[in-house]
Amino acid sequence: MIHPETYIVKEDAIRPAGSQDRCLYCNRALGAEHKPDCVMRNKTVVIKAIIEYVVEVPEHWDKEQIEFHRNLGSWCSSNFVDEINELEEKIGCLCSHTNFKYVREATEEDEEKCAYKSN
């Protein structure tokens, strides 16, 4: 979803390395409109994160039981955050375990569902 509220050069585009009255990225003055290809002009998109890691499950569980437990059973998906934090503590950077895929441009419904809040 396009966010036209990001089109105008505001204080957030000023960086210590650049001029204090212009966008560091497109060099437009405060209050002017960012250039169309400026990185400060934003939109929201939906992405899918694919993370591979090892967990312990009962020996007799098969694929269906494992997926039921994780997706439909009593296991809370928020536990996933703890598992990932634990993995990161053990191995450091997660780059070799994670792959991100673009799904689509976000809709207003996507933003509401995911509690997106514009900066």
How high is the mean pLDDT of the chain?
95
Q: pLDDT tier at 20 (50, 70, 90 boundaries)?
A: very high
| Residues 34, 51 within the same domain | no
pLDDT at 119 exceeding the cut of 80: no
- The whole-angstrom separation of Cα 21 and Cα 94 is 38
| Residues 56, 109 within the same domain | yes
pTM across the whole model: 0.79
Mean pLDDT along residues 15-41 = 96
pLDDT for res 28: 97
- The whole-angstrom separation of Cα 34 and Cα 9 is 6
Please state, for a pLDDT cut of 70, what percent of the chain lies above it. 99
> Residue 34: which of 11, 5, 13, 7 has the closest Cα?
7
Total tally of structural domains belonging to the chain: 2
φ and ψ at 105, to 5 degrees? Answer: -70, 140
Residue ranges making up the domain that contains 99 = 45-119
| Residues 57, 100 within the same domain | yes
| Residues 39, 49 within the same domain | no
| Residues 87, 117 within the same domain | yes
| Residues 13, 50 within the same domain | no
DSSP letter for 29, please. Answer: B
